[in-house]
Amino acid sequence: MKATSDWKQMKKEGEKITMVTAYDYPSAKQSEAAGMDTILVGDSLGMTVLGYASTVQVTMDDMIHHARAVRRGAPDTYVVVDMPFGTYHGNVDDSVQNALDLYQATDANAIKLEGAGCIDIIRRAVAAGVPVVAHLGLTPQSVGVTGFRMQASDEAAAMQLIQDAKAVESAGASMLVLEAIPSDLAEKVTAVLGIPTIGIGAGVNVDGQVLVYHDVLQYGTERLPKFVRPYADFNTAGVQGLKSYVAAVKAGEFPDESTTYKRKVFEE
């Protein structure tokens, strides 16, 4: 399993970092078998696998439950887990304690925080021994305010994002996720930081990429964001497989001789 220091070395050597957002044992197991560098247990699980309208409804218990399943499925992969909405937006002491609790309860390798307003939390969590991944640009927990659209599109916002990126690095963040920002801005941020940048809708000139497992494989997803390229179509294959099962049962073709237990007859 890679350590935090390995990410900086990969950045230095120009080796791209691969990350996938996954939420359970089988997806984590497949991700590890595929050679994924790191798995993010994102609070997007609220929408992707729990059917919530947004990430706001996701709880600490949800994150712990799913992160533990991912760890069991990928014991040798670096795992990052999101702190859910509301667990680091109030009192700093409580926020840091929540970070420690999540890190300890999940056996994750790092936690992830969204936005530039958690510098003190990052600093104190890192000082306590918890690696932290930061997240700037489009931050899903704030879409009620920002909306699902490209961020930092004007000069002032771009300069602010660069300053925020430097601030989270100074606070001790070990990686930075950049979501839905202009590619030239992502390239500038990547150039000024010593820590790796992981892009999602941020162009190719970052240090790595992250996409959601269900988007990459088109598994249960109906509308894909502009920045997603699917590499399989589980929606079609899965439905077809289930239709074939239904048809076989209706026709009396399943179970057949090969899938039926029979009592052995013993002769005296």
Point out the annotated binding site for 3-methyl-2-oxobutanoate: 43-44, 82, 112
CB count in 10 Å sphere of residue 120? 12
Tokens of 187: 């390239």
> Binding site for Mg(2+): which residues?
43, 82, 114
Q: CA 190 to CA 196: how far, in whole Å?
A: 7
Amino acid at 200: I
Annotated binding residues, written as ranges, equal 43-44, 82, 112, 114
**Annotated catalytic residue, options 179, 187, 222, 267:** 179
Angstrom CA distances, 231 to 34, 99, 100, 228, stand at 13, 34, 36, 10
Q: Taking the CA of residue 209 as centre, how many other CA atoms within 13 Å lie in the half-sphere pointing to its CB?
A: 14
Q: Can you tell me the distance from the alpha carbon of 18 to that of 24, in angstroms, rounded to the nearest whole number? A: 18
CB 189 within 8 A of CB 197: yes
Q: What is the CA radius of gyration of the chain?
A: 21
The verdict on whether 179 is a catalytic residue reads: yes
Angle 96-21-41 from CA coordinates, rounded to 5°: 30
The structure tokens listed for 41 are 């247990």
> In whole angstroms, what is the distance from residue 78 CA to residue 58 CA?
22
Dist. CA 172–CA 240, nearest whole Å = 48
3-state SS, residue 88? coil
- Report which DSSP code applies to 16: P
Active site residues: 179
